[in-house]
Structure 1
Amino acid sequence: MKPFHMATLAALMAAAAAAATAAGAVTFDATNTASSTAGGQRFDREVGVDYAKQVLADASSFIWDAFEQPGDGGDRKPVDAVTLTVEDIDGVAFTSGDAIHLSARYVGGYSSSSGDVRTEVTGVLYHEATHVWQWGLQDYAAHSWVYEGIADFVRLRAGYVAAGWVQPGQGNSWEDSYSVTARFFDYCDSVKPGFVADLNAKLKDGYNVDYFVQITGKTVQQLWQDYKAKYGN
């Protein structure tokens, strides 16, 4: 191989290495297995796998920051690759391990009156990517609200609030999950900056209601009462 070609190859390899380092040496991939369906075609047309891969990378970086997990020395989950598969399934999306599955039927049926479908998919991917990186999912079945609340907290902080979310102060319990819990966690994070990062770190050992006291000095009941009072509820 000629020296010029060798130099070019070296430069390309260096650029690839730099890109991998910037992404925390994690790879991101997306596949649409439902391109023959109306929803899959809409995904290809209005979102696209290249955009989705970039969202996974951006979301992961955002989550690492939210969880206060820098590349060197951070207590980050050991994940080497994050994948997205668009499938002809019911529901919205789900995550298993480091694999995210998005419903093409949801994409196809998403109403334009609720907003831009690309923005909605972006928000869904921020939520699902949080499940890839958060600790403590061994306790998900017993305390799903806390994990879904953290995932929606990340989506909230990233600026992708979905149509139909509750407003701050709404909800009957901190365990209502999703946007109710996300709004409450956002309040807790204002009381104790880094609350969600601290909570996620503690969840590595499973959920314990005493974590609220350990992090903020207040019980979850006290925090909820203060939260409701702040918004006149």
Structure 2
Amino acid sequence: MKAKAVILAFAATVSLMAHSATAATEEIRTEIKPIQFNGDINWLAFDLPNVQIRYFSQDQVAVWQHIDVNLIKQISYNVARILYKEEHKAPKLPLLEIVLEDMDGVAYKEGDFSGAKIHISAQYLNKYKLTHSPQAVYDELIGILYHEIAHAYQLDDHNYKEIGPVIEGIADVVRMKGGYVDFSSRKQGGNYDSGYKTTAFFLHWLESNHHPDLLVELNAQLDPHDKKKWSWGSFSKEKNINLDIAWSNYQKSL
């Protein structure tokens, strides 16, 4: 029997104080946004990864003080529940490393279900804080963690080279469901296979308006062991979606 919907929120840390660029202080809310899941006793036994957090940057990155093991485990739990309806189908990562380091770009994930490592750019976070509040910097970091931890848990057909846009789109839908994407940034243009937020906003629109559980079902289609090569064409056929018409309707809704 299904339990009632429960709110699974998270107390990462108590609210701390962070210095702004003007030397004034601003209180940061460090409790991540709650997500509502259907109650399922099986998820109480879900194995969360052993988490290691490392700091390899020569730059001081103030927001990093708010990142701890419990926070990473809660995001990991949330990500798994967003991507998988049934607990036994979700990967059980033995190890998840989170590394802040000096590098170009924003972040990337390496590894697989036997252990994953997420690299985050200290330079990106420090550049971001120049034009954003401490709270916005914290929220951006949590959003990055949602996206990259999604990569650690999602299926990918072992074919990133050809279907990278949908893989990145799925990770950004996870970030959206976590509450760390600004929907006011949606705009017309691009295509459903453009990747990242362009694809993610479209997939989220499809799920919200026409196809409940689309994200879970789409992730399942990317199982590399099902002997089926994923494509937008196979997705369209299996879900009975005319993608060109759906994209046009989505664009008109913006």
> Is 1:223 the counterpart of 2:246 in the alignment?
yes
For residues 49-92 of structure 1, the C-alpha deviation after alignment (integer angstroms, 9 at most, x for no partner) is: x6243332122111122112443x2x223421111111111111
Deviation at 1:166, TM superposition (A): 3.5
Aligned to 1:193: 212
Q: How does 1:65-214 map to 2 (within 5 A)?
A: 65-71=81-87, 73=88, 75-97=89-111, 98-115=116-133, 116-136=136-156, 138-161=158-181, 166-167=185-186, 170-190=188-208, 191-205=210-224, 206-209=229-232, 210-214=234-238
| Residues 168 and 196 in structure 2, CA contact (< 8 A), matched pair in contact too | yes
**201-210 vs 151-160, greater mean Cα deviation:** 201-210
| Residues 213 and 220 in structure 1, CA contact (< 8 A), matched pair in contact too | no
Q: CA distance change for structure 1 residues 141 and 181 in 2, over 3 Å: closer, same or farther? A: same
For residues 130-189 of structure 1, the C-alpha deviation after alignment (integer angstroms, 9 at most, x for no partner) is: 0000101521111211011111111111111169x841x523201121111110010111
| Residues 135 and 200 in structure 1, CA contact (< 8 A), matched pair in contact too | yes
Aligned to 2:54: 31
Where 1:114 maps in the other structure, the secondary structure is coil
Deviation at 1:123, TM superposition (A): 0.6
Aligned to 1:57: 73
- Code of the aligned partner of 2:216: A
Deviation at 1:201, TM superposition (A): 0.5
Aligned to 1:47: 64
Rounded Cα–Cα distance in structure 2 between residues aligned with 1:54 and 1:171? 39
| Residues 86 and 104 in structure 1, CA contact (< 8 A), matched pair in contact too | yes
Structure 1 outlier segments of 4+, above 6 Å: none
Rounded Cα–Cα distance in structure 2 between residues aligned with 1:138 and 1:100? 18
Where 1:161 maps in the other structure, the secondary structure is coil
| Residues 123 and 162 in structure 1, CA contact (< 8 A), matched pair in contact too | no
- Contiguous gaps of at least 5 residues in structure 1: 1-20
Deviation at 1:204, TM superposition (A): 1.0
- Code of the aligned partner of 1:153: V
TM-score in terms of structure 2 length: 0.71
Paired positions, count: 199
- Code of the aligned partner of 2:168: E
Rounded Cα–Cα distance in structure 2 between residues aligned with 1:213 and 1:188? 15
Rounded Cα–Cα distance in structure 1 between residues aligned with 2:73 and 2:174? 14
